[in-house]
Each structure stands twice: as structure tokens, then as C-alpha cells.
Copies of this chain bind each other. A is one copy, B any other.
Amino acid sequence: MYRIGELAKQCEVKADTLRFYEKHGLLSPSMRSDSGYRLYSEQDAERLRFILRAKAVGFTLSEITELLSIDLDKSNWACADVKGMVDIKLANVEEKIAELNHFRVSLQRLSDACCGGPESAEHCSILEALESNVEVKCENHSHDHGETEYKTSCKLKG
């Protein structure tokens, strides 16, 4: 039997987290000591590891609750059910990745459009792009800082 701090350390979580999981029905210690300390069995520890593995692949705690209840009652569930959950989650994750990729591309464009030098930001392409509804379309840019020699290889398209 492990006390809360022992199990926490072993699984690299905080004792707080174990209390939190208990409050939310994910994991309860199978015993209490005479003085009321939580005592976790090896089975409890395994359940915790299940939870942590499921977290590591991206499931939320409420999804994990569902997975745990399926796991305890496997014979009443089909593979299709379990795979369905994974596939929904996968679609979910792919959607978030797509959104972030959109951010990434836009940010990269902004970054590429700006010289990043010590010049005043008065003509900064990034700020200009945010000010007007303009799409940054290129990769290299030199500001017009009133100098006579520069190359402008960047086009803004409204």
C-alpha cells in the first residue's frame, strides 16, 4: 500500500492531483489507514497509470472516465465503441492541428515580411498588415526608411 505522497512521487504527479482525481471519480484509494490516510493498492496504481497513459495520448479526464468504465465492463462493449472514441479524438486533434497550422502560416508570413531590424516600426509590415485588411504575400522585405538604396521584394495584396 502506498500513501498518497508515495504514489504521487512514483507516478510523477502531485498529491493534489490524486485528491482531485478522487473528487472527480477517477481514482479512489481502496483503503484508509486508522488515522484516515489514503492507502492505494497496486491495482489502484495500475488504474492511475491507465489514466496517465490515456492523458498522454490526449484524452480529457471525462473521456478517461468513460474509458475506465468501458475497461471495467469490457464484455458489454464492442471494439467499434472503443475505436470510435479514439477516432473521434483523432479527428478532434487533427482539427486543432489544422487551426494551429493556419496560425503558423499566417505568423510565418508576417515574420518573413518584416526586416526585424533596429529601424523604427513606423513602416513595419507586420503592423501594416494588422492595420489594414491586407495579406502578406512574400518572404523578403526591406523597409522604405527614406534611404535611397534598398530592395523591396515584398508585395502586399489588399
Q: Which of B54, B78, B124, B130 contacts A121 (CB 8 A)?
A: B78
A101 CB within 8 Å of chain B: yes
Instruction: Count this chain's copies in the assembly.
Output: 2
Contact indicator per residue, chain A 93-116, by CB within 8 Å of chain B (1) or not (0) = 110110011011011101100111
Where chain A touches its partner, the secondary structure class is helix
Of listed A54, A70, A78, A89, residue having the most chain B CB within 10 A = A78
How many residues does chain A have at the interface if contact means C-beta atoms less than 8 Å apart?
56
- Is A90 in contact with B114, judged by CB distance below 8 angstroms? no
A: which residues have CB within 8 A of B? 46, 49-50, 53-54, 56-58, 67, 70-71, 74-84, 86-87, 89-90, 93-94, 96-97, 100-101, 103-104, 106-108, 110-111, 114-122, 124, 126-127, 129-131, 133, 143
